[in-house]
Homo-oligomer: A and B are copies of this chain.
């Protein structure tokens, strides 16, 4: 994947491999801290300290904390999109792929992203919010693509595939709460229950 060079770097020397790896380290560290403490309370100083780079180095890669937040969120969401695509493509049957995907997503709850967004949104620019929402939408696009195929194969009933993608993603929030997850033996068991419900609903 070619690194996208932010506009403000135009005219600066081309990014080296080392630059890219530092950038990724900053993004990874920022993601971890934002997830744990939320957007507002984390400072660039904290992020720099934790990954051993100076604040000017962070500013070399990101114009602002909001910019770094955008990068952290879109990177997380792109990873979810990649996992979604891989698991659904590699599975022999859609159902198996969905169970695998659900188990993976329940283990890494996505709900925090929604919480972080609510907190950060008033402090972000319109374009930053749009970029993050777009990265989220791309997860739904992958799901919708596979659901559309299942409709063409008459496995699924006719329905807006994006509605179903959103329903599936929303159900992944069931694994979000610590006090609840104890009720199920494992993410795998909960994943199977959710996919069975997703496919069959509740009526006989």
List A residues at the B interface (Cβ < 8 Å): 38, 111, 114-115, 118-119, 133, 147, 150, 154-157, 159, 162-164, 166-167, 170-171, 173-174, 176-177, 179-180, 183, 193-194, 197-204
Contacts and interface: CB of A to CB of B under 8 A. Distances in A.
8 contacts: A147-B202, A150-B202, A157-B202, A163-B197, A199-B202, A200-B200, A200-B203, A201-B201
In terms of DSSP, what is the predominant structure of the interface of chain A?
Answer: helix
Given A173-B173, A197-B201, A198-B202, 10 more contacts: A38-B119, A115-B118, A133-B179, A150-B202, A156-B204, A157-B200, A164-B197, A166-B174, A167-B194, A199-B201
A180 B136 CA distance: 12
Given A157-B203, A203-B199, A163 B193 contact: yes
A162 to B, nearest CB: 8
A36 B86 CA distance: 39
A170 to B, nearest CB: 5
Contacts of A176: 114
